[in-house]
Amino acid sequence: MSHFLRARVVLLLVGVLAGAACSPQKTKAPDPAAVLQSVPAANPAKYQSISDMRKWRNPYLLVRADGIALLDPADSAEIVLKPEEVLATLARLPSSAWPYGRVVAVAESGAASSESDHVAIRRNKGIVGGVLAGAHVAVDWVPSG
C-alpha cells in the first residue's frame, strides 16, 4: 500500500471515528420500575380508612376485557392502556399523584358481557397484578362498583 493511500485510509478512519463521537447518543429511557422506586413505599395508615373510592387520590386502575383503564379523577375519564403500558404510564405521573405512597387501587370492570370477557378480565387482572408486584407497587384491590 502506498504512503499516499495509507494516509487517506488513516484520515478516513479518523473522520469516521470523530463523526461517531460527535453523533448524538441514543439515551435509553429509564426503567419504569426504577422510576417508581423513587416514590415512597405505600403508607397504609393514609388510605386504609377510605371507604368512598371517590376520595381516593392515588392512581386508580380498572381492569377491563380490552385492557387496563387508568381513571383520571380530574375529569372522570378512563385512559385505556395495554397491560404492558401500565408501568410506564404510572412512572410518568407526577409525585403529587402518590400522596399515599407507592400504591394503586385496582378494581375489576363489572361490564363483562360474555364468558370471553370474563376470561379476558381475569387474564388482565393477573397480568397487571404481577407487573405491579414485580415493580414493588402495592395493590389495594377494591370491589368493582
pLDDT of residue 91: 97
HEC string of 26-60? Answer: CCCCCCHHHHHCCCCECCHHHCCCCCCHHHCCCCE
Query: Do the Cβ atoms of 144 and 108 come closer than 8 Å?
Result: yes
* Contact predicate 99/46, CB 8 Å: yes
d(CA 96, CA 99) in angstroms, rounded, equals 6
* CA distances from residue 123 to 81, 108, 119 in whole angstroms, order as listed: 14, 11, 6
pLDDT tens-place values along the chain, 145 residues long: 544 334 344 444 444 444 444 445 667 778 999 999 999 999 999 999 998 888 999 999 999 999 999 998 667 789 999 999 999 999 999 999 999 999 999 999 876 688 999 999 999 999 999 999 999 999 999 987 6
Q: What is the DSSP letter of 85?
A: G
pLDDT confidence of residue 15:
45
At 24, which helix (H) or strand (E)? none
